[in-house]
């Protein structure tokens, strides 16, 4: 056992006690963690990282009499059992085990419904229906991932524990033989100049296990075709300066351009709005919608039509996409199916767009004529939003078939510390007659616009809309 320096996200945030790591057969670059130490770390980390969403988070540990089986039990009675005898890991309800303690089942918002003062927050789940998953498991022995139960210690590779318990929070552990660092998966890379044979032997099976357990199969999506279309539309849009503005009005029609969905997990939007210093609306969805809402609903506003331009939207943060749906419709209904466990959930969200800590008719544009412009570039969350509109029926879709994409992104790391991301197991779906159908193939517009030039000529598009009704 070796206690190494332990850093939480930044070199300045150093744990005073370090973290105990274990090594087998003298191999110095393949660290193991003892399950009791790991649980102690999780019980401190998770509630402190999100004190509202995970205030009640807690893990307990039970070791059976012969020491061959260890069960980690959440406060919500879900559990993960590590069976060292059979070389397997089993969950009684996988989605419950990885969910926030104070959030709904399979929640995509990752935003507490109330703030630290108990006031209503930006986004809240107001209703949910779920079919919880049954028992689900994975055989680590099939992937030759080592598990050690010896001398009262129960050890798993740090990489394996990260995959099972940190990835849901977009976190992972990184080790460089000098220190251990906990960091965002998307922000961290650990350069490795050389590896021992033992670490090299773990890399491929570990990555294979992660992808097969936590990844989703694709639908023939072509990156080169997508990139070519995105470049083409970007160049075309530059010919029409009005179309590059995040917000633009033509007579009675307002255009809101959104090329990606972004929401800050650290910004206090309420304080920022009160001080007149909201984040940059060209990069932040909440800021854009708050400001657009103020313009559209101002006194004596001429606006009767609102067009949400998602033609170059390649996706982004699911909470921002849900916030956008709720802005248009009032109730944002989002359904998810977990491909690993079989869990199904439909959740209805409301958004506070005028930042008055209330969810009411003043937060929505549902009383106006609403349109959404899509193209083959509208992908992932840029595909989720028009699908939600299509399912609801109150928003008219214009343009071309959206680009598809139905799975929430899952960040991962390899055993040597390289970060990457794939389509995860949470598949966005629509609910019809009690069955869940994925939205991977894209959504058909109500009115096809044949010429892409007409996407971005705001005045011509306004005339077209006026002729539709």
Residue 187's CATH number:
3.30.457.10
What is the residue whose two structure tokens read 């077209």?
A: 464
- Counting every residue, how long is the chain? 469
Do 24 and 59 lie in one domain? The reply is yes
Q: How far is CA 48 from CA 41, 276, 330, 357, in A?
A: 11, 29, 32, 24
Helix (H) or strand (E) holding 412: strand 407-413
Q: Is the residue at 306 inside a domain?
A: yes
Question: What residues contact 83, with CB distance under 8 A and at least 6 apart?
Answer: 68, 69, 89, 90
Do 234 and 144 lie in one domain? The reply is no
Do 281 and 170 lie in one domain? The reply is no
The sign of the CA dihedral 204, 209, 212, 218 is negative
Helix (H) or strand (E) holding 379: none
pLDDT of residue 186: 60
Q: Is the residue at 410 inside a domain?
A: no
Distance, CA of 430 to CA of 325 (rounded, Å): 14
Q: Is the residue at 112 inside a domain?
A: no
Q: Is the residue at 298 inside a domain?
A: yes
Domain end point (choices 185, 214, 243):
214
Do 196 and 291 lie in one domain? The reply is no
Q: Is the residue at 415 inside a domain?
A: no
Mind listing the pLDDT tens digit for each residue in 322-333?
A: 999 999 999 999
Do 174 and 289 lie in one domain? The reply is no
Do 208 and 349 lie in one domain? The reply is no
Do 160 and 309 lie in one domain? The reply is no
pLDDT of residue 190: 55
Q: Is the residue at 121 inside a domain?
A: no
Q: Could you give the 3-state DSSP secondary structure of residue 168?
A: helix
What is the separation of C-alpha 248 from the centre of its chain, rounded to a whole number of angstroms?
29
Question: Which pTM value belongs to this model?
Answer: 0.85
- Structural domain of residue 244, as residue ranges? 223-405+440-468
Domain end point (choices 197, 214, 231):
214
Do 244 and 391 lie in one domain? The reply is yes
Distance, CA of 111 to CA of 102 (rounded, Å): 10
pLDDT of residue 435: 73
pLDDT of residue 221: 47
Do 276 and 320 lie in one domain? The reply is yes
Q: Tokens in use for 25?
A: 């057969």
pLDDT of residue 225: 57
Ranges of the chain with pLDDT below 70: 185-193, 216-226, 433
pLDDT of residue 446: 97
Helix (H) or strand (E) holding 102: none
Distance, CA of 351 to CA of 329 (rounded, Å): 10
Domain count, the chain: 2
Mind listing the pLDDT tens digit for each residue in 272-321?
A: 999 989 999 999 999 999 999 999 999 999 999 999 999 999 988 889 99
Do 43 and 69 lie in one domain? The reply is yes
């Amino acid at each position: 056992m070796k206690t190494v320096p332990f850093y939480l996200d930044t070199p300045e945030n150093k744990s005073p006690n370090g973290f105990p790591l274990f090594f087998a057969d003298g191999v110095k670059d393949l660290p193991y963690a003892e399950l009791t130490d790991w649980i102690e770390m999780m019980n401190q980390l998770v509630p402190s990282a999100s004190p509202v969403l995970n205030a009640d988070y807690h893990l307990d540990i039970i070791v059976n009499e012969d020491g061959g089986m260890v069960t980690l039990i959440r406060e919500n009675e879900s559990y993960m059992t590590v069976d060292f005898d059979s070389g397997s890991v089993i969950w009684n309800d996988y989605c419950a085990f990885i969910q926030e303690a104070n959030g709904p089942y399979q929640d995509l918002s990752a935003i507490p419904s109330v703030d630290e003062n108990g006031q209503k927050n930006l986004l809240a789940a107001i209703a949910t229906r779920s079919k919880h998953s049954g028992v689900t498991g994975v055989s680590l022995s099939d992937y030759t991932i080592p598990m050690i139960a010896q001398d009262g210690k129960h050890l798993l590779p740090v990489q394996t524990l990260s995959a099972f318990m940190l990835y849901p929070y977009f976190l992972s552990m990184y080790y460089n033989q000098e220190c251990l660092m906990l960091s965002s998966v998307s922000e961290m890379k650990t350069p490795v100049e050389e590896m021992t044979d033992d670490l090299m032997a773990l890399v491929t099976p570990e990555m294979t296990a992660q992808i097969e357990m936590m990844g989703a199969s694709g639908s023939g999506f072509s990156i080169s075709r997508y990139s070519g279309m995105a470049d083409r539309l970007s160049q075309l849009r530059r010919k029409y300066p009005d179309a590059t503005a995040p917000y633009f009005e033509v007579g009675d029609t307002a255009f809101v351009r959104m090329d990606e969905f972004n929401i800050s997990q650290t910004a206090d939007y309420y304080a920022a709005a009160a001080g007149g210093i909201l984040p940059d609306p060209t990069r932040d969805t909440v800021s854009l919608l708050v400001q657009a809402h103020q313009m559209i609903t101002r006194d004596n506003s001429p606006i009767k039509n609102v067009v949400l331009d998602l033609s170059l939207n390649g996706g982004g943060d699911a909470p921002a996409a849900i916030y956008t749906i709720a802005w248009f419709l009032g109730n944002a209904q989002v359904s998810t199916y977990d491909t690993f466990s079989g869990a199904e959930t439909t959740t209805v969200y409301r958004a506070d767009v005028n930042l008055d800590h209330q969810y009411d008719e003043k937060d929505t544009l549902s009383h106006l004529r609403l349109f959404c412009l899509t193209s083959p570039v509208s992908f992932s969350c840029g595909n989720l939003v028009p699908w939600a509109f299509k399912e609801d029926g109150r928003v008219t879709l214009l343009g071309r078939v959206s680009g598809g994409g139905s799975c929430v992104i899952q960040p991962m790391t390899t055993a040597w510390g390289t970060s990457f991301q794939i389509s995860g197991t949470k598949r966005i779906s629509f609910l019809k007659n009690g069955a869940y159908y994925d939205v991977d193939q894209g959504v058909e517009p109500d009115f096809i616009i044949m010429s892409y030039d007409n996407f971005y000529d705001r005045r011509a598009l306004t005339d077209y809309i006026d002729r539709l009704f």
